[in-house]
């Protein structure tokens, strides 16, 4: 039976191919480059998390999904492996997972948000910016923006997010509206900007009222300024 990949699976596979192109063939020193958006991880560690996340999903090891403990175990398990071996593991297993991403709904979109965030984490670490208008950015933002708007609502703030590429999420009668490119919204919503940078964005309304909303799930604003 031929499985037709939906847009979520295609977006994940596209980001995976780009990460593989970025990291495949790099030497140990380059792989040990620290990632400023993931302060305790190197490029190798980020790839280990991506490979480990797929392996855990396929084995059903989802207890603590997304937590620091869950991701740390993935990194620790591959610390002695070469980056090439970790990439091989990931690229062998990922197609088995990708066929389930579209039927998984928001969980599938969460997987895209994770991979595309880490794609750009690696790009920042290696100083190779590109692909900021990919379908993975669009789909990943759809997940992250939904979570941020929900977080704002839990803090008693009606937040509207508008991207220059067409996303418009949140109530029309919002207390606060944030407008930016899809890439900047994604990076802001997933902890890749510090509080000062958040305040510098294009806001309509009381930005201080919405800042606490950027602490959602395991994510929070960066402690340091991140310029990409």
Structure tokens at 108: 């599938």
- SS3 sequence of the chain: CCCCCCHHHHHHHHHHHHHHHHHCCCCHHHHCCEECCEEEEEHHHHHHHHHHHHHHHHHCCCCCCCCHHHHHHHHHHCCCCCHHHHHHHHHHHHHHHHCCCCCCCHHHHHHHHHHHHHHHHHHHHHCCCCCCCCHHHHHHHHHHHHHHHHHHHHCCCCEEEEECCCCEECCCCCCEEEEECHHHHHHHHCCCCEHHHHHCCEEECCHHHHHHHHCECCECCECCCCCC
Chain center to CA of 21: 18
pLDDT the model gives residue 20:
99
Residue 200 has pLDDT above 60, yes or no: yes
Is this structure's pTM higher than 0.75? yes
Half-sphere exposure of 42 (CA within 13 A, CB side): 16
Q: Using CA atoms, how far apart are residues 127 and 21, in angstroms rounded to an integer?
A: 14
CA 180 to chain CA centroid, Å, is 17
Grade residue 3 by pLDDT with cuts at 50, 70 and 90: low
Q: Residues 43-61: what's their mean pLDDT?
A: 98
Q: How far apart are CA 189 and CA 221, in angstroms?
A: 8
Is the per-residue pLDDT at 147 higher than 60?
Answer: yes
User: Is the pLDDT score of 2 beyond 80?
Assistant: no
Q: pLDDT tens, 56-100?
A: 999 999 999 889 999 999 999 999 999 999 999 999 999 999 999
Residue 66 is predicted with a pLDDT of 87
Token pair 């071996």 is found at 85
Work out the number of other CB atoms within 10 angstroms of the CB of residue 47.
28
Lowest mean pLDDT among 99-108, 115-124, 177-186: 99-108
Q: Which of 41, 72, 67, 39 is nearest to 226 (CA)?
A: 39
Q: Dump pLDDT digits (tens) for 172-198.
A: 999 999 999 999 999 999 999 999 999
Mean pLDDT on 211-223: 97
Does pLDDT of 1 surpass 70? no
Domain map of the chain by residue range?
A: 7-126, 135-214
């Amino acid at each position: 039976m031929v499985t037709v990949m939906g847009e979520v699976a295609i977006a994940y596979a596209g980001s995976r191919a780009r990460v593989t192109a970025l990291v495949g063939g790099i030497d140990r020193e380059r792989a040990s480059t620290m990632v400023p958006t993931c302060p305790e991880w190197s490029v190798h560690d980020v790839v280990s998390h991506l490979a480990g996340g797929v392996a855990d999903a396929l084995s059903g090891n989802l207890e603590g999904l997304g937590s620091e403990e869950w991701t740390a175990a993935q990194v620790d398990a591959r610390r002695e492996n070469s980056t090439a071996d970790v990439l091989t593991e990931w690229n062998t297993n990922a197609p088995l997972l990708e066929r389930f991403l579209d039927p998984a709904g928001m969980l599938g979109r969460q997987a895209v948000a994770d991979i595309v965030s880490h794609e750009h984490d690696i790009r920042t670490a290696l100083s190779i910016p590109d692909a900021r208008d990919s379908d993975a950015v669009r789909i990943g933002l759809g997940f992250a923006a939904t979570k941020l708007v929900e977080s704002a609502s839990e803090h008693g703030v009606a937040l509207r997010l508008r991207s220059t590429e067409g996303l418009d999420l949140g109530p029309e009668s919002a207390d606060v509206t944030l407008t930016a490119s899809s890439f900047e919204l994604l990076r802001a919503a997933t902890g890749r900007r510090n509080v000062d940078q958040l305040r510098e964005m294009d806001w309509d309304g009381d930005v201080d009222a919405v800042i606490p909303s950027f602490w959602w799930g395991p994510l929070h604003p960066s402690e340091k300024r991140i310029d990409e």
